[in-house]
C-alpha cells in the first residue's frame, strides 16, 4: 500500500494530463541539496515522463516538477 495515497494519484494525474513536450521547464536545485519526494505513479505516467526527459535532454525530476507546477496552476484558475 506504500505510495498509493491521494498525493500519488494527483501526481499521476498531473503527469498524464499535462503536455510534457511543451510544458515550460522550471529550474530545480541541482544535487543532493534539492528536496525530494517519492511517489508511485502508473506505468503510463512513468513511461511518458522518462521518454520526454530523454527527448528534451533534461532530468525526469525537471519534467515532473514542471508538469506538477502547471497542473496545480490550472487548478487555481
Each residue's pLDDT tens digit, 2-19? 556 788 889 999 999 999
Alpha carbons 58 and 63: distance in angstroms, whole number: 7
Alpha carbons 24 and 19: distance in angstroms, whole number: 10
- Concatenating the DSSP letter of every residue in 12-63 gives HHHHHHS-TTTSPPPP---GGGS--------HHHHHHHHHHHHHHTS-HHHH
pLDDT at 49 (0 to 100): 93
Each residue's pLDDT tens digit, 14-61? 999 999 999 999 876 666 666 667 788 899 999 999 999 999 999 888
pTM given for the model: 0.77
Joined grid coordinates for residue 76: 487555481
Amino acid at each position: 500500500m506504500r505510495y498509493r495515497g491521494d498525493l500519488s494519484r494527483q501526481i499521476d494525474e498531473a503527469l498524464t494530463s499535462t503536455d510534457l513536450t511543451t510544458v515550460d521547464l522550471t529550474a530545480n536545485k541541482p544535487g543532493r541539496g534539492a528536496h525530494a519526494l517519492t511517489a508511485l505513479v502508473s506505468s503510463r505516467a512513468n513511461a511518458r515522463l522518462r521518454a520526454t526527459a530523454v527527448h528534451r535532454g533534461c532530468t525526469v525530476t525537471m519534467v515532473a516538477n514542471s508538469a506538477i507546477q502547471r497542473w496545480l496552476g490550472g487548478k487555481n484558475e
